[in-house]
Amino acid sequence: MIDRLLGDVTSRQPVPDPSFVLLTGLAALALVTWAWPWVRLGLTVVHEAGHALVAVLVGRRLSGVRLHADTSGVTLSRGRPSGPGMVAMLAAGYLAPAALGVLAAVLLADGRSLALLWGLVVLLALLLVWIRNGYGLVVVLVAGVGVGLVGWYAHPMVQSVAAYLVAWLLLLAAPRPLLELLSAGRTRRRGSDPDQLARLTRVPAVLWILVLLAANLAGLVVGVVRLAPELLHR
């Protein structure tokens, strides 16, 4: 079993035809458009994982992560209530999906679809340790088991579809929550990450939203260049 896992992670799979990449991108766009609650739940998992990872990296004490049925989530940590570490942790949530999407695109462009799938299983397993509510536990466990089953048992074509869908979904969906925040009123933005960043830095929440949105759109462009460079030459 260990030998097979190591072989999967270190091996390369054939990079699919451009038409396959484009079709999975269109399928992901359809999911972002018509199955948004489910996509947003997955995005929230990555969002909170981003908070948790950066909290640990900047020396904060991670208390736990909660995921809720309304697709919201919260990451609790202890440490200084202000300063660069707190700012980095708050900003990481909305940056995490695009960052992971770019990493996924880089792996797929190098023929590493199985490495991507097993990497996701590892990330979900690490996140599972920090989940502090039943709903979140079920969501992360189901996601991890589902991806693991695809990586272990599925046909190579199904594995490729899953890997490319994950990459496209992360890249295409990442800007949408920020666009929704941008169109929301100040009252609805209260308590959001940009609102907390505004209180810490005295930079308006709207400006934070625009900066984070620009970073996500830049990630989308980089991801498309890696996944489907032929689209830029037509």
The mean of the pLDDT values for the chain is 93
The confidence band for 233, taking pLDDT boundaries of 50, 70 and 90, is low
In this prediction, residue 212 carries a pLDDT of 98
pTM of the model: 0.95
Residue 230 above 70 pLDDT?
no
The confidence band for 232, taking pLDDT boundaries of 50, 70 and 90, is low
Q: Is 186 among the domain residues?
A: yes
Q: Is 108 among the domain residues?
A: yes
In this structure, what are the phi and psi dihedrals at residue 179, rounded to the nearest 5 degrees? -65, -40
Q: Is 6 among the domain residues?
A: no
Q: Is 4 among the domain residues?
A: no
Residue 234 above 60 pLDDT?
no
Handedness of CA 79, 84, 89, 90 (dihedral sign): positive
Identify the residue whose tokens are 């295409």: 172
Q: Is 234 among the domain residues?
A: no
Residue 205: name the closest of 41, 59, 94 by CA: 94
Residues whose CB is less than 8 angstroms from the CB of residue 150 and which lie 6 or more positions away in sequence, other chains included: 117, 158, 159, 162
Q: Is 10 among the domain residues?
A: no
83-124, pLDDT tens digit by residue? 999 999 999 999 999 999 999 999 999 999 999 999 999 999
Domain that holds residue 28: 16-228
Query: Is the CB of residue 55 less than 8 Å from the CB of residue 87?
Result: no
Q: Give the whole-angstrom CA distance, residue 9 versus residue 110.
A: 12
- The helix/strand count (H/E) of the chain reads as 11, 2
132-183, pLDDT tens digit by residue? 999 999 999 999 999 999 999 999 999 999 999 999 999 999 999 999 998 8
Q: Is 224 among the domain residues?
A: yes
Q: Is 8 among the domain residues?
A: no
- Counting the structural domains of the chain, the total is 1
Paired tokens of 28:
């992901």
